[in-house]
Structure 1
Amino acid sequence: MSKQEARKITIIEELLAGRFTNKQAAELLDLSVRQVQRMKAEASANGVISILHKNRGRKPANALDPEVAEKICRIYQTELSGYNFCHATDVLAEDKDIFVSVSTVSRYLRASGIRSPKAKRRPKKHRSRNARERECEMIQMDASSFDWLGNGSYLHLHGAVDDATGRILALHFEKEETFEGYCELMFQMNQNGHLPREIYTDGRTVFVYNSKKKKELTLEEELAGKVEKQTNFARALKELNILLIIARSAQAKGGIERLWETLQDRLAKDMQRKGISSIEQANDFLKHYIPYYNRKFAVQAASPEKAYLPKQDMSALQLIFAKHVTRKIDSGLSFSFENHKYRLPAKVENIKVPASPHDTITVATSKHIGMQVLYKGLVIKPELLKTQPKESIVQIPQQDNSLNSLPAQPKIKPKNKSPWFAYSEIFYSKSRSRDDISAAELSR
């Protein structure tokens, strides 16, 4: 019996003894006078215990079957060890057809002595900012190194998340954090029509050169008015009119940092449970995982208005997000690139190529477009020049004529006519005194 039930029984007993009026008892029990009168009549007829709830001691109709509760604990200990309770509840519903709430799973697991592996940590102090109001007005972009496959291969997961809704816009696995990995994010977002207006990221060299090791500008770039040399990714964003914002701390882009915390706990376990063991399988799995994640965790933006940029032609976008380097055309209207010689064709789609010696061209390379040349608004496929290797001088091996040849004659040195050349070593010996030198030696 609870304290509240014991208090109710005491008040009704005092009411039956005449120490309280119906109005006083109603005020103490926070009930109406009419309800107190019914309780008084019930207690007089069947005893004071009869005023308590009739379902006391009975099993609730919506109580979980003990066999199901035991099955949940057994599955968690054998198959889902290390999963947090919320993730375990999702897996039970998806794979085992056990539909229970997170609180139910938590209650039975805790009763069995199992604690959640996800510890609660006090957040670090930092100044918060308001999320953007429109969807895709700004995205946060980053990469996370983790043992995603559970086999010791620390892959880098490149990701982009919307700042207003928390929706994942793109994910891609690479062996390292690379320029190509971030380009794949841009291609995915463009394919789905989700090109953003602003990108918020850290100060990786993919996005911006280190100020301490800033690359020097060429003379042409200085004359063109450029202030600082841009990376290929920053240059591509500028061509698309996308603003690049560099974060000064991890807390500043907390949205994608929280995404990594969730994915490292959930995505890694899901891929291991599905038997995914290669980077190709992992990238295919992401195509189905992104919609699942967004249905579960994405929220509504403050404003219903969308801020997407227009969708770009994929071939043009791949050309923009290629690696661009400059070369000079020589007098033969050719240029060198990666130890090979190329020349520009005379015409491109019946348009004469206005090439001149010493002109500057831009060479764009990527795995999607191969190698293209950008020159005065034209996109040109260069022609490879086949250069012949220099002929080597063939050395004829000398025949061994030692058996037929005469013995070598000693070389005779020409006689030196200097008067000092005739003096012997004895003449200069320190062991001889001046008196030992004969007149004949002096007269030579």
Structure 2
Amino acid sequence: MAGTERITMTMHELDRFKVIQAVADGKLQPWRAAERLGLTTRQIRRLVGRLREHGPQGLVSQRRAKPSNNRLDSMTADRVLSIIRDRYADFGPTLACEKLWECHGLQVSKETVRKLMTDAGLWIPRRQRPPKVYQPRTRRACLGELIQIDGSDHRWFEQRAPACTLLVYVDRQSRNAVWSSDTRVEHRRIQREQQFGRRPCRIGW
């Protein structure tokens, strides 16, 4: 008994095989097959000829299991990984890709760098990272119990004044901004009579 040859096809290739087989058997007109597959009638006839000559294997992509023509050669890949390990081990793929070009003259795509770093264990894709656990910041019991301070460096006054840091003070009970200022002034006064029910106080730095 002759052995059975196993052929691996994608779903797209399997659907194409069924349509081309129907054309070869005379059950489907070539122009209808062309409409169904989004091809021309000439391409359909070519596929029918390939099916009759080589069988189902003739409709399978010849590029499968073969390295891409644009594949990075192993010597360049080893050099890229060596540079990244020595100098950019804590960089992300995008920044590492930029540094490879700017500092070493190596023009490698970002996705290639990402794959090399992932395979070498230098980068973990976001979908594979464990979820971050944030400590819940509960609402405080009374006003003034906790004031959160945040700063943002920017040229807030455009060209009319030097760049400065905007400071914002947020009360963690009411979650309202109770005061804001910029760092150009040495002392500021917080008007909190209405918020805290006591006289205003000064904060200096």
TM-score (norm 2): 0.56
Q: Does 1:91 align with 2:99?
A: yes
Find the counterpart in structure 2 of residue 409 from structure 1. Answer: none
Per-residue CA distance 1:201-249 (angstroms, 9 max, x = gap): 5123424741239xxxxxxxxxxxxxxxxxxxxxxxxxxxxxxxxxxxx
- What amino acid maps onto 1:211 in structure 2? R
Query: Which of the residues 19, 22, 37 maps onto 1:14?
Result: 22
Partner residue of 2:5? none
* Aligned pair partner of 2:159 in 186, 196, 217: 196
Q: Distance in 2 between matches of 1:73 and 1:47?
A: 44
From 42, 49, 73, give the equivalent of 2:50. 42
Deviation at 1:67, TM superposition (A): 2.2
Aligned-residue offset at 1:5: 1.9
Alpha-carbon spacing, 1:32–1:72, altered in 2? closer, same or farther (3 Å): same
Q: Which residue of 2 aligns with 1:206?
A: 184
Q: CA deviation at 1:100?
A: 0.6
Relative to 1, partners in 2 of residues 1:27 and 1:86: Cα closer, same or farther, differing over 3 Å? same
Alignment RMSD (CA, Å): 3.6
How far the C-alpha of 1:54 sits from its partner, in A, is: 4.0
Alpha-carbon distance change, 209 to 5 in structure 1, aligned in 2, over 3 angstroms? same
Give 2:109's match in structure 1, choosing from 101, 107, 114.
101
Tell me the residue number matched to 2:148. none
Code of the aligned partner of 1:72: V
- Aligned-partner Cα distance in 2 for 1:39–1:8: 9
* Matching of residue 25 in structure 1 with residue 33 in structure 2: yes
Give, as a single letter, the amino acid of the residue that structure 1 aligns with 2:35: E
The answer to whether the 8 A contact 2:93-2:114 is kept is: yes
Q: 1:3 aligns with which of 11, 17, 39?
A: 11
Cα deviation code 1:341-360 (max 9, x no counterpart): xxxxxxxxxxxxxxxxxxxx
Q: 1:12·1:48 contact (CA, 8 Å) conserved in 2?
A: no
- Provide the secondary structure at the position in 2 that maps to 1:210: strand
Change beyond 3 A, Cα 1:27–1:208: farther
Q: Is the 8 A contact 2:81 2:116 kept in 1?
A: yes
Whichever residue aligns with residue 204 of structure 1, its letter is D
Deviations 1:21-48 (A, max 9, x none): 2233223312223321222123223434
**How far does the alpha carbon of each residue in 1:110-150 deviate from its partner, in whole angstroms, 9 at most, with x for none?**
123332599899xxxxxxxxxxxxxxxxxxx955xxxxxxx
Q: CA 1:206–1:117 in 2, change beyond 3 Å: closer, same or farther?
A: farther
In the alignment, the residues of structure 1 paired with residue 13 and residue 185 of structure 2 have an alpha-carbon distance, to the nearest angstrom, of: 68
In the alignment, residue 73 of structure 2 is paired with which amino acid? Answer: D
- Paired letter, 1:206: R
- Give, in whole Å, the separation in 2 of the partners of 1:117 and 1:62: 23
Q: What whole-Å deviation, never above 9, does each CA across 1:69-107 have from its counterpart, x for those lacking one?
A: 233223323332211222211222233322112111002
Unmatched segments (≥5 aa) in structure 2: 1-8, 133-150, 167-180, 192-205
1:67 corresponds to which of 50, 67, 75: 75
Q: Distance in 1 between matches of 2:28 and 2:185?
A: 80
Distance 2:33 2:75 in 1: 45
- 1:147-203 per-residue CA deviation (whole Å, 9 max, x = no partner) reads xxxxxxxxxxxx759x9xxxxxxxxxxxxxxxxxxxxxxxxxxxxxxx725767512
**Corresponding position of 2:198:** none
How many residues align? The count is 147
Alpha-carbon distance in structure 2 between the residues aligned to 1:115 and 1:45:
48
Alpha-carbon distance in structure 1 between the residues aligned to 2:125 and 2:90: 6
In structure 2, relative to structure 1, the CA distance for the partners of 1:11 and 1:117 (3 Å cut) is: closer
Pairwise mapping of residues 228-247 of structure 1 onto structure 2 (< 5 A)? Answer: none
Determine which structure has the larger helix proportion and give its number: 2
Q: TM-score, normalised by structure 1?
A: 0.28
Q: For residues 204 and 83 of structure 1, do their structure 2 counterparts lie closer, same or farther at Cα, with a shift above 3 Å needed?
A: same
Gaps of 5+ in 1: 122-140, 144-158, 164-194, 214-444
Task: Provide the identity percentage.
Answer: 21
